[in-house]
Amino acid sequence: MKTRVAVIDYGSQYSQLIVRRVREIGYYSHLYAPADIRNIGNVGAVILSGGPRSVTEPGAPDVDFEFLQSLNAPVLGICYGMQILNVKWGGKVSSGASREYGPADVRVEQSDRILDGVGSTFRVWMSHSDVVTGCPPQSSVLARNPAGHPVAIQWSPSFYGIQFHPEVSHTEHGTRILKNFLSLMNRQPDFSMASYKDELIQSIREEVRGRSVICAVSGGVDSTVLAVLLKESGVRLRPIFVDSGLLRKNEPVEVARNFREMAIAIETVPAGDKFVPALAGVEDPEKKRRIIGDLFVKVFYETAGDIELLAQGTLYPDVIESATSGSDITSRIKTHHNRVDKILELKREGKVMEPLADLFKDEVRALGRVLNIPLEILNRHPFPGPGLAVRIPGAVTKEKLDVLREADDILVRHLKESGWYDKTWQALCVLLPVKTVGIKGDERSYEHALSIRCVTSRDAMTADWAELPHTLLRQIANAILNKVKGVNRVLYDISTKPPASIEWE
């Protein structure tokens, strides 16, 4: 990459969002721990994120200020980042009388390059308890909040700080402020998915060095983009599809057809006769995930045999989650995806590659478009690794799986026919572990209750329930009640995330 914008992570819930915003503006960005700052190469600009700690407390995260100054690159501190820079420049930060969280209005006092075009007042999103109570003599206060505290400061021609969060959508002119700051690099945006694809292909060829590559495919967005990218790179590829018997209706057939149309031959391993019996009588959700994960690993590696190189569809949020926890990526892999000891062994041998590890979910979809993957695949809703097992709270049986498959098929079909499938992030049915009394025909029934969940989201970090039209909900519910044997009650889940999760287990 010609230009790299380094985001130093101090633990803010919005750190990933800063990286995303910078990439959307057109510059390549990456998240780094404060201790890694001297190892960053080819830096065009630095952004210090917010964080939950107080700069006034002992042992608070620090910054290598001398090194920052030596970079001769523009630096922007956000929230905690602004406070720590103010202290380094010789200013003062103190605990505020109260925490400032949520929307707030700020008043611009001095027109400056990074606040160009925002007007005299604008609304921002705050999330802090400390405040700047003293600025060094050489600094300029660019904006203040209603209490008079500085919320935008310039310490030098290239060092700035803002107390609010420009990366969140709640801040007016937030993207413009980031663009204004990045313009200080005096470099044109040079990050595009088309050029990034070419760099990925080149790096894959250099890493593979003639070895054969094996990968697991599920038919989902990540593994499909990974497989097509590897194919485009010209490597010897062996994609394996493990049919756990926990998939949606007709999914194994559809996955095979989709890959065939993309000229990729996949190896399907029917294993439903192993997974479903292994889950008999198991109700604990984590135990179910562990059984599925261990069995998947066993089936996959028995099929794979000797591995020269394993490709994984790990995405950037997975890497960040692990890095910020202070542990290696493999120690945080979900139990239904991989058995950690096997991955660690392969990593030690240099046999694991993760070509998508610098990309967010929406960027993976953008890469898929560049690779000409059909939109029907790229727009596919996320589907959990353990499959329908996590949508059956309690014990999993073949009977319950069959009921859930039919209901799920009806839900997805109605959403697609109505145009609502692409308006929602994820849609699912959950077969509840209760039976209710109902009436079917002239007889009383005692069958399952089923919950529908449709959510809107951008990245699944937060989610809201989708306000489907009542007529559509009625059509879906009636179709399930009339066509799915074993269900006599349909509910609609209107929980947000947080506090609820998107999936039920």
Domain positions in the chain are 4-185, 193-378, 399-492
Q: What letter would DSSP give residue 463? A: B
pLDDT at 4 over 90: no
Catalytic site residue 165? yes
- Identify the band that residue 204 occupies on the pLDDT scale cut at 50, 70 and 90: very high
- Clarify whether 79 is annotated catalytic: yes
pLDDT at residue 335, as a whole number: 39
Q: How far apart are the first and last CA of the chain?
A: 40
- Separation of CA 475 from chain center: 32
Domain 193-378 has CATH 1.20.120.160: no
pLDDT band of 393, cuts 50, 70, 90: very high
The pLDDT of 416-435, averaged and rounded, is 96
Residue 45, H or E segment: strand 43-48
| 100 has a pLDDT exceeding 70 | no
pLDDT at position 245 is 96
- Greater confidence (148 vs 237) lies with 237
* CATH architecture of the region 4-185: 3-Layer(aba) Sandwich (3.40)
At 331 the pLDDT is 29
Give whole-number Cα distances, 356 to 115, 306, 335, 368, 377, in Å: 35, 24, 20, 11, 17
Residues across the chain: 505
**Choice among 128, 165, 414, 448 that is catalytic:** 165
State the Cα–Cα distance between residues 398 and 155, nearest whole angstrom.
66
Active-site pick, 100, 167, 172, 363: 167
- Active-site residue flag, 167: yes
221-232 and 251-261 helices, crossing angle to 10°: 30
Given CATH 3.50.50.60, say whether it is the number of domain 399-492. Answer: no
Provide the 3-class DSSP secondary structure of residue 127: strand
pLDDT at 466 over 50: yes
pLDDT at residue 30 is higher than 90 = no
Provide the CA 241 distance to its chain's centre, in angstroms: 23
CATH topology agreement for domains 4-185 and 193-378:
yes
The predicted pLDDT at position 330 comes to: 29
Q: CA dihedral defined by 168, 173, 176, 178, rounded to 10 degrees? A: -40
Percent above pLDDT 90 for the chain: 71
